[in-house]
Chains A and B, each alone.
Chain A
Amino acid sequence: MIATGSSSPKIDRPLTVIVATDCGSTTTKAILIEKVGNEYRQTYRGEAPTTVEAPFEDVTRGVLNAIAEIEELSGWKILEGDRIITPYQDAKIGVDMYISTSSAGGGLQMMVTGVVQNMTGESAQRAALGAGAIVIDVLASNDGRLPHEKIERIRTMRPDMILMSGGTDGGAVTHVVEMAEFIAAAEPRPRFGATYKLPLIYAGNKEAQGPVRKILGEKSALEVTDNIRPVLERENLAPARQKIHDLFLEHVMQQAPGYKKLIDMAGAPIMPTPAAVGVIMETIAKREHLNLIGVDIGGATTDVFSVFDGVFNRTVSANLGMSYSISNVLAEAGLANILRWVPFTIDEQMLRNRIKNKMVRPTTIPQTLDELQIEQAISREALRLALIHHKSLATGLKGVQQERTISDVFEQQASGLSLIDMLKLDLIVGSGGILSHAPRRVQSMLMMVDAYEPLGVTRISVDSIFMMPHLGVLSTIDEKAATDVFVRDCMVYLGTCVAPIGQGKEGERCVEYEVTFPDGKMVKDRLRFGDLTLYPLELDQKAVITMKPAKAVNLGAGPGEPITREVYGGAVGLMLDGRGRPLQLPTDQQARVALLTKWFSAVGLYPTASG
């Protein structure tokens, strides 16, 4: 059956065993989920190279190889030749369902258009990002480019899909029609497949639907849906997002090698990987009533998700990553910003050459400790830049709908940063090789703390083996199964970071604190500026902290106001960060290296000569 994406699959029996894959650009990752007693657990995993490219040119080869690895490890019989055995039979034969996500072949690349860049242009961008796309350009009537430059740009870009927006319903049609004329003149061609028409979604002023159909109906695979900005004060992204998912399945994926077969194999619509990750983040945030930031830092791109007060946002920094895009992190952050995290001195030329060598050989791994430290320094900058990018787009419009007043619109243009409030942040979820596979968990925690500079009390976790995409799709079919696995097997809680806001001279009093541990033991001490302190606190354990900040120091209750909070432990523990916010590092190289060395050894970040 080919799932169309609009409807959830009907499940006519309880699910006992599920096999799920995520087809990434380089690796296809498979996991097996089983019902053990009353709860679902992830039991086995397998992976294999993705086979979208020559010589295989069939994504299902990699899927079958990854599932075959699960078969080998588990003793389960899942495959019968090239077929997945369904449903589950006793004696470890078959599975109830196969589901998958995909970002192979560069994911879903979209171009969006609007009339006013900061209004409909931005709404269209949010709709596309929320649907899991990479937005390669935003064209707007007021984007400063001349008409012929816009046409050239549309022509040279080869998106998988275009989303057109613009105008409120019943408003002027001229600018929207003009953009349609530009698109028609450019005759854009899709990235894959020279013979099919480019999918184009029109989600603008409904009065312009007729002229847009006339201009673009023949030249593109046009779909018309509800206006994403029906009135100035309200954003309505859901219909456009749904259309993007549908067209992704019906057009884009049909062109990618082997995807027709993959769609037939799957029991639920194939989702773009970031869309699935977004679904699981949103589900968890809503279930636990949390404000969270999630990050998935990959080789080529970094995705950032946030849910604040129930409002979901997602951005992708298409050229920030740890292998293919590592050199771009250097280009965007600058060498000085990377070097400030390196706890030794290094020749600039050598560092630049090393970064370029990683770019041209992206699958290599650090072999020595100093190389690991350099990679982790670069990751701090990639994470930091991706969050800045996210903050610039997570600007207060609700994922589906939000009522706004005219004054809100103007405020958004002016600030645009109002949604991400680090003091309200409850949880940071990190994912991606550099965070999930760091040799010591404390390294993951400190990378995120250094990059994000959480304020007040924030819990920190990582995705154990990158199974959030799988769980995102699963949550659309069986939320309980997805949540069980997410809580039990996916999330590795690292602990809690407590970071007072304020600055002072190194050694000055920052906070007086008391920590009461679960065994009743109490620690009373003073956190000074420049201190980084770590207390062991096991997973599933809670401690109670009382913090009495110095006069100008704030922990969320106001300057000098004490707080008492229950904090959670994890694989790392309770981290008290007295380094000051905003975090500032000395410009003098020797002083900086000394300070980094002090912090890193205080939390046991890296092995020392003595072990």
Chain B
Amino acid sequence: MAHSYTPGLTVTDHIEIKRRRQLPLPGTVLVQAGDRVVSNQPVARAELPGKVYPLNLANQLGVAPEEIKEYLIKKDGDSIQKDDVLAENKPLFKWLKTEIRSPLTGIIESISTVTGQILLREPPRVIELLGYVDGTVVEIHPHQGVTIKCACSLVQGIFGIGGETYGEVAMAVASPEEPLTPDRLRPEMKGKLVVGGSFLPADTMAKAKELGVAGLIVGGIHDKDLRALLGYDLGVAITGTEQVGFTLVLTEGFGTIPMAQKTFAVLSRHAGANASISGATQIRAGVIRPEIIIPQKAEQAAGLATACSERGDIQIGDSVRIIHDPFFGKIGEVAELPSELIRIPTESDVRALEVRFPDGSRAVIPRANIEVIEGG
């Protein structure tokens, strides 16, 4: 039989994870294997080549492309300052003289006698790659980056926006069913990762931005509010570079959906602790989910299981969350795992399972529509 994949989101108090930190282009690694690093510490550095500006000298001087070298004062690879004269003509009368000045500080990248243009390049920009998590460097990838091992509590969300940031976990609601209304945000939450319950309304987002909250972690939002926040309708779930003032992580999905009890409990236990958060989501091949990582002290880390990407088949008794209507967001446990295909109301014959809810009721759900609540 084909493997039945029922991927779940990891929500756990104790896990050891590895995060590969990679430069966008080759550079220098600043740490060594075995070093302890913290989230906001640079671990590698690279120089991003500066922007290139073409300048068509032939046109500006009114000469043929192959003649431009005769007029150039600078040559290939020369350093230049803004307003330096790059080329000039030599007219008989001085007042007819044309000088071409550099619009930027940088170097002359190339000179073309075919097109008559020269390319100027700005100085490189240094980019520093931060550690993102508190942990130990376990592998160096020469010129590329490092892998950092971290013992932590981990909460994966279903969808997020915004990049990596850091802050103290702050609980804004008392239960996972409560929506995160604006009055729950207080000035002391500035720079913190604020945990709400079932829903994040638009006015709370506005207040979070105003207060300078670093991150928001909630069960759900409305699509229309996301659209208003981003300024466009998100077509494909590839995120992480948005700049909306805070990083947002949804733990459940779109709509008003109470945060899973377990997720809420893990975050509550770590109220006041420092954590790393990333909203980056990529739902295509090579799935990336948003995450909240709460590092543990070294002494807590002993004897942790390593994060395991591969899980066994689903078992009776497994705790599952239903991820599609009409039971969307409900949590129960697997009561039956029939092997034969079951006909559902759409008339499709699908692999299904029976879920028992806490109130004792049961429902048949396609296996594709549940996710196992992973981590222990």
Q: B360 within 8 Å of A by Cβ? A: no
Contact status B345-A324, CB under 8 Å: no
Interface positions, chain B 284-325, Cβ under 8 Å from A, are 284-287, 309-310, 323-325
With A69-B1, A174-B115, A372-B346 known as contacts, the answer to whether A189 contacts B25 (CB < 8 A) is yes
Contact status A349-B284, CB under 8 Å: no
Contact status A371-B26, CB under 8 Å: no
Q: B326 within 8 Å of A by Cβ? A: yes
A residues near B224, Cβ cutoff 8 Å? 349, 352
B residues near A440, Cβ cutoff 8 Å? 347
With A185-B110, A349-B222 known as contacts, the answer to whether A55 contacts B346 (CB < 8 A) is no
Q: B42 within 8 Å of A by Cβ? A: no
Q: B361 within 8 Å of A by Cβ? A: no
Contact status A355-B223, CB under 8 Å: yes
Contact status B52-A186, CB under 8 Å: yes
Contact status B347-A331, CB under 8 Å: no
Contact status B235-A54, CB under 8 Å: no
With A182-B54, A189-B25, A349-B224 known as contacts, the answer to whether A368 contacts B346 (CB < 8 A) is yes
* Set B53, B285, B365: member contacting A105, Cβ < 8 A: B285
A residues near B7, Cβ cutoff 8 Å? 363
Q: B182 within 8 Å of A by Cβ? A: no
CA gap between A47 and B326 in the complex, in Å = 29
Contact status B115-A327, CB under 8 Å: no
A residues near B51, Cβ cutoff 8 Å? 148, 151-152
Name which residue of chain A comes closest to B346, CB basis: A372
Number of A residues near B (Cβ < 8 Å) is 69
In whole Å, how far is A167's beta carbon from the nearest beta carbon of chain B?
13
Contact status B52-A357, CB under 8 Å: no
In whole Å, how far is A216's beta carbon from the nearest beta carbon of chain B?
12
Contact status B369-A365, CB under 8 Å: yes
CA gap between A189 and B3 in the complex, in Å = 36
CA gap between A362 and B324 in the complex, in Å = 10
CA gap between A55 and B3 in the complex, in Å = 15
CA gap between A564 and B35 in the complex, in Å = 83
In whole Å, how far is A570's beta carbon from the nearest beta carbon of chain B?
19
With A65-B3, A187-B49, A353-B222 known as contacts, the answer to whether A177 contacts B112 (CB < 8 A) is yes
A residues near B26, Cβ cutoff 8 Å? 194
- Of A185, A187, A350, A360, chain B has the most CB atoms within 10 Å of the CB of A360
Contact status B234-A69, CB under 8 Å: no
A residues near B310, Cβ cutoff 8 Å? 55
A-B contact count (CB 8 A): 182
CA gap between A66 and B3 in the complex, in Å = 10
CA gap between A178 and B7 in the complex, in Å = 49
A residues near B285, Cβ cutoff 8 Å? 25-26, 50, 52-53, 104-106
In whole Å, how far is B226's beta carbon from the nearest beta carbon of chain A?
8
B residues near A319, Cβ cutoff 8 Å? 235-236
In whole Å, how far is B332's beta carbon from the nearest beta carbon of chain A?
15
Name which residue of chain B comes closest to A320, CB basis: B235
Contact status B324-A364, CB under 8 Å: yes
Contact status A330-B324, CB under 8 Å: no
In whole Å, how far is A433's beta carbon from the nearest beta carbon of chain B?
11
Q: A586 within 8 Å of B by Cβ? A: no
| Chain A contact surface mostly | helix
In whole Å, how far is A482's beta carbon from the nearest beta carbon of chain B?
25
Contact status B323-A364, CB under 8 Å: yes
Contact status B283-A360, CB under 8 Å: yes
Name which residue of chain B comes closest to A211, CB basis: B114
Q: A170 within 8 Å of B by Cβ? A: no
In whole Å, how far is B240's beta carbon from the nearest beta carbon of chain A?
14
Contact status A177-B115, CB under 8 Å: yes
Name which residue of chain A comes closest to B347, CB basis: A439
Name which residue of chain A comes closest to B352, CB basis: A367
CA gap between A53 and B288 in the complex, in Å = 11
Interface positions, chain A 373-413, Cβ under 8 Å from B, are none
Q: A607 within 8 Å of B by Cβ? A: yes
B residues near A364, Cβ cutoff 8 Å? 323-324, 366, 368-369
Q: A181 within 8 Å of B by Cβ? A: yes
Q: A369 within 8 Å of B by Cβ? A: yes
B residues near A25, Cβ cutoff 8 Å? 284-285
A residues near B345, Cβ cutoff 8 Å? 367-369, 607
Q: A356 within 8 Å of B by Cβ? A: yes
Name which residue of chain B comes closest to A146, CB basis: B54
Q: B158 within 8 Å of A by Cβ? A: yes
* Set A147, A186, A189, A357: member contacting B324, Cβ < 8 A: A357
Contact status A332-B235, CB under 8 Å: yes
In whole Å, how far is B54's beta carbon from the nearest beta carbon of chain A?
4
* Set B109, B112, B284: member contacting A300, Cβ < 8 A: B284
Q: B254 within 8 Å of A by Cβ? A: yes
Name which residue of chain B comes closest to A69, CB basis: B2
With A187-B49, A356-B223, A368-B326 known as contacts, the answer to whether A47 contacts B2 (CB < 8 A) is yes
Interface positions, chain A 480-496, Cβ under 8 Å from B, are none
Contact status A185-B109, CB under 8 Å: yes
Q: B274 within 8 Å of A by Cβ? A: no
CA gap between A149 and B67 in the complex, in Å = 27
CA gap between A173 and B1 in the complex, in Å = 59
A residues near B49, Cβ cutoff 8 Å? 187
CA gap between A105 and B306 in the complex, in Å = 26
In whole Å, how far is A43's beta carbon from the nearest beta carbon of chain B?
17
Name which residue of chain A comes closest to B54, CB basis: A147
With A49-B5, A148-B54, A177-B114 known as contacts, the answer to whether A361 contacts B346 (CB < 8 A) is no
Contact status B323-A353, CB under 8 Å: no
Q: A42 within 8 Å of B by Cβ? A: no
A residues near B369, Cβ cutoff 8 Å? 364-365, 367
Q: B237 within 8 Å of A by Cβ? A: yes
With A194-B26, A349-B222, A357-B254 known as contacts, the answer to whether A365 contacts B350 (CB < 8 A) is yes
Contact status A363-B368, CB under 8 Å: yes
Q: A437 within 8 Å of B by Cβ? A: yes
Name which residue of chain B comes closest to A56, CB basis: B310
Contact status B112-A367, CB under 8 Å: no
A residues near B115, Cβ cutoff 8 Å? 174, 177-178, 181
- Of A331, A361, A368, chain B has the most CB atoms within 10 Å of the CB of A361
- Residues 336-371 of A, flagged 1 when their CB comes within 8 A of B and 0 if not, give 000000000000011011111101111111111101
CA gap between A366 and B346 in the complex, in Å = 7
Interface positions, chain A 47-97, Cβ under 8 Å from B, are 47-50, 52-55, 65-66, 69, 72
In whole Å, how far is B219's beta carbon from the nearest beta carbon of chain A?
12
9 residue pairs bridging A and B, Cβ less than 8 Å apart: A66-B2, A327-B234, A353-B255, A356-B253, A357-B323, A372-B346, A437-B348, A439-B348, A440-B347
Given A328-B236, A353-B223: 7 more A-B contacts, CB < 8 Å: A151-B51, A178-B114, A194-B25, A194-B144, A353-B254, A363-B5, A364-B324
Question: Lowest 5 CB-CB distances: which A-B pairs, in order?
Answer: A328-B235, A439-B347, A352-B223, A331-B233, A353-B254
